[in-house]
Structure formats: C-alpha cells, structure tokens
C-alpha cells in the first residue's frame, strides 16, 4: 500500500450524481426499456459497491458483472437487484453460487447446459441464453438456438429464460454490421422471448436494438463510445475526474531537453510544470500526439515522456503557477476520450487503470 492508493497525490473524484443522471438519460434514450448497469471490473474503476448503491437510488433495473465472484460481493454488500453474470460460470460450484445468491448466469457453452442438467434442483434459476451473431467470442451458433431453448424449457426446476447477443461494431455509425446482426436475431424466430441486445453504442445509435432489455457500460460513466461523438452533443456527464498537483515549476531555455529519451526539445524558452502523476497512477505512458492537462482552468500540453510518477507540461502561457496547484488530468476538459485518442487506446482502459491505482473520493 506504500506505492499506490491513499499514499499517492493523484486521486479520482467519482461523481455519483453524474452516474445517476447518466443512467436516467440512457434509460430515456432506450425508450424506457429495462436498463442493465454494467459494473464489472469494479465498475470500470469507479467502485462497484459504491456505484451499485448509488444507482439503487435511481431505481436501477439490474446490474451486470463479468464473474460470479464479483456478483457475490455485491449481494453480500446488500445489493438486491437482478445481477447478470456476463461470462457465465466456469465450474459447478459457481453454478451453485448462482442458485444460492439468485444470480442470472449467461449460458454460452455446452459446459453450461451439461451442468444445468446435472443439478436436480435449480430453484427457479433465471438464465440468459447467448447467441453469437457476429462478435465471435462467446455464444452458441444460430443453428443451435431453437434446440437449446427447447432443452432449457424441458428443465422443470429452471426459472425464466431470456435471450442475449452482443453487438460488435455498433460504435461505428456508418457501419452496416449491426443491421446484419439484427437480421440474424430475427432469423432465429425467438421474438416471444425477452432479449438483451443493445450495449452503450446500441442505446445511443441503434434504436432497433432496444428490445425489452438494454445494457450500459462505458456510457454510464460518461464516455461517449460513438464514432460521431465530436459532432454530436449527448447528455453524458463524466463520472470520474482525475486530479493531482504541481510538484515543481522550472524555467527552461530554448534547446533544453525534457524527460527520458530526450524526446522533447524546447523550441523556445519555456516554463515547465512537473505534475505528480504518471503511469504508476494508471495514466497512459504511450502517446502519439500531445495530450493536455488543465491548470488554472487552462489547457496545457504534456511534453516529453510520461514517467512513473511525473508528467511534464508546458505552462509558459500561465502566470504564477506554484507548487501544490491543482491539476486536472482528465474529466470534462480534457475529456477521457481525447486522452484515449492521444494514447491509441480507449476510455475503458484508462478509467479501469486509474480507478485501480489512485485513491477514490466520492461526491454526490
């Protein structure tokens, strides 16, 4: 604990009211369909128990996590809403936990069917049958869809059966692949069942994917996943703001080099602030373009390489920057998606990494 978390200068401020507002906005955008809040990976670094508790106040319909263990922690913390296990169970003991804790496993492999058949009393366990319509990861083939539905319907102690698939390219507004996937869903002839199809991108960009249940991951946390996000203004508020402070302010002359590898040379005389944050705090090291941070309400270019504990930024255009001045590394401005673009990654990775490394403070 000496090298991260509460003992670091960097911190993530989590706005719970922003999460509640995003949930309500996404549910409205989905036409009032039942909205599953995806809180796997410790709620994308925001804190799963804290997020679930906050969204319970917004009358969240259900939650989704990746593993049975994640769901058990939520149940033990008092979360009562439906919890869906997106990766299913990986051993018979986990199936028993699903029964004991009233969790909804996603079925995507013959192993799951064999386990269900081996348990004499499933206690009305509710399940989601996943069909692969083009993602190519988890899910049964379309050809087996009807056969498996019939098999599940024959298990007398099994409870409700719902259907699910995963959109592979819904973030691209000009792609026709989502329509192809929806065509495959239609071809199954299973419209009498409740479906969960839309992810965040499906909610925001593809109304035809809104089928009784939708699920929101990254958009819940205020990051717009759509390819047209710079042209469209959607009512999403960032739930995480990463902040730190200034460690030092140094005057440099034209020709001075900054940071490891001598990758940045001052083109003119400059004032450089050293900020107490780095890749040890989850801030991305890799940059293909100049990222920006905010000091005194103004954007400042990050220069030189990001170090383990320090970032260097050009503050030549600011007056009287001092040690311990507050720094915003991402939030509303700069946006986490902009930082992700600079780093050739996605907002998901940045939020998860930062949230796992720095201390978290909750507001709202």
Per-residue pLDDT at 4: 65
Give the catalytic positions in this structure: 40, 260
Residues 6+ apart with CB under 8 A from 348: 44, 217, 218, 223
Share of the chain above pLDDT 90, in %: 93
- The torsion region of residue 330 among left (phi > 0), alpha (psi -120 to 50) and beta comes to beta
What is the pLDDT at residue 2? Answer: 55
For the entire predicted model, the pTM comes to 0.94
Looking at the chain, the whole-number percentage of residues with pLDDT higher than 70 is 99
pLDDT digits (tens, 9 = 90+) for 24-45: 999 999 999 999 999 999 999 9
Average pLDDT, the chain: 95
Q: Which residue has the tokens 């990222």?
A: 291
CB neighbour list of residue 233: distance below 8 Å, 6 or more residues apart: none
What are the structural domain ranges in the chain?
16-221, 240-363
| pLDDT exceeds cutoff 80 at 289 | no
Higher-confidence residue: 290 or 202? 202
What local confidence, expressed as pLDDT, does residue 58 receive? Answer: 86
| CATH topology assigned to domain 240-363 | Lyase, Ornithine Decarboxylase; Chain A, domain 1 (2.40.37)
228-265 pLDDT, tens digit per residue, is 888 888 999 999 999 999 999 999 999 999 999 999 99
CATH fit for domain 16-221, picks 3.40.1710.10, 2.60.40.650, 3.20.20.10, 3.40.50.1820: 3.20.20.10
Kindly give, in sequence order, each residue whose CB lies less than 8 Å from that of residue 249, ignoring residues fewer than 6 positions away: 271, 272, 273, 274, 315, 321, 322, 323
- Within the chain, residue ranges assigned H as helices are 16-29, 40-44, 48-56, 68-76, 92-100, 110-118, 145-153, 177-187, 200-205, 336-342, 347-357
Measured CA to CA, the distance from residue 288 to residue 304 in angstroms comes to 11
* pLDDT number for residue 3: 57
Token readout for 331 is: 């939030």
- Residues 111-164: tens digit of each pLDDT: 999 999 999 999 999 999 999 999 999 999 999 999 999 999 999 999 999 999
Same fold, 16-221 and 240-363: no
Contact 287/263 with Cβ under 8 angstroms?
no
pLDDT digits (tens, 9 = 90+) for 36-74: 999 999 999 999 999 999 999 889 999 999 999 999 999
**Digit-coded pLDDT (tens) for 97-109:** 999 999 999 999 9
Confidence (pLDDT) at 233: 83
Q: How far is CA 298 from the centre of its chain?
A: 28
**Residue 63 to residue 238: CA distance in whole angstroms:** 20
Instruction: Give the CA diameter of the chain.
Output: 78
Give the up-direction half-sphere exposure of residue 278: CA atoms within 13 A in the CB hemisphere. Answer: 18
């Amino acid at each position: 604990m000496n090298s991260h978390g509460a003992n670091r200068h960097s911190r993530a401020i989590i706005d719970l009211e922003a999460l509640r507002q995003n949930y309500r906005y996404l549910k409205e955008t989905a036409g009032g369909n039942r909205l599953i809040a995806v809180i796997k990976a410790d709620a994308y670094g925001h804190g799963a128990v804290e997020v679930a508790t906050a969204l319970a106040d917004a009358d969240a319909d259900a939650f989704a996590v990746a593993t049975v263990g994640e769901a058990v922690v939520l149940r033990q913390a008092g979360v009562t809403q439906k919890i869906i296990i997106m990766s299913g169970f990986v051993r018979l003991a986990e199936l028993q936990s699903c029964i004991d804790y009233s969790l909804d496993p996603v079925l995507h492999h013959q192993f799951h069917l064999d386990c269900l058949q081996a348990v004499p009393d499933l206690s009305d366990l509710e399940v989601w049958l996943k069909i692969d319509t083009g993602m190519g990861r988890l899910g049964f083939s379309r050809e087996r869809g009807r056969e498996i539905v019939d098999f599940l319907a024959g298990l007398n102690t099994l409870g409700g059966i719902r259907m699910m698939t995963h959109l592979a390219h819904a973030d691209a507004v000009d792609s026709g692949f989502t329509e192809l996937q929806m065509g495959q869903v239609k071809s199954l002839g299973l419209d009498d069942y409740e479906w969960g199809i839309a992810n965040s991108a499906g909610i925001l960009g593809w109304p035809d994917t809104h089928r009784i249940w939708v699920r929101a991951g990254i958009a819940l946390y205020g990051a717009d996943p759509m390819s047209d996000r710079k042209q469209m203004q959607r009512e999403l508020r960032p739930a995480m703001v990463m902040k730190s402070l200034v460690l030092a302010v140094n005057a440099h002359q034209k020709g001075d080099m900054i940071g490891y590898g001598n990758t940045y040379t001052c083109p003119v005389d400059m004032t450089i602030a050293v900020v107490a944050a780095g890749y040890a705090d989850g801030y991305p090291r890799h940059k293909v373009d100049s990222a920006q941070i905010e000091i005194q309400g103004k954007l400042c270019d990050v220069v030189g390489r990001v170090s383990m504990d320090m970032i260097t930024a050009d503050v030549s255009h600011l007056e009287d920057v001092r040690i311990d001045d507050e720094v915003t590394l991402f939030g509303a401005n700069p946006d986490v998606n902009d930082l992700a673009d600079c780093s050739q990654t996605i907002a998901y990775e940045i939020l998860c990494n930062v949230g796992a490394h720095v201390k978290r403070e909750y507001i709202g």
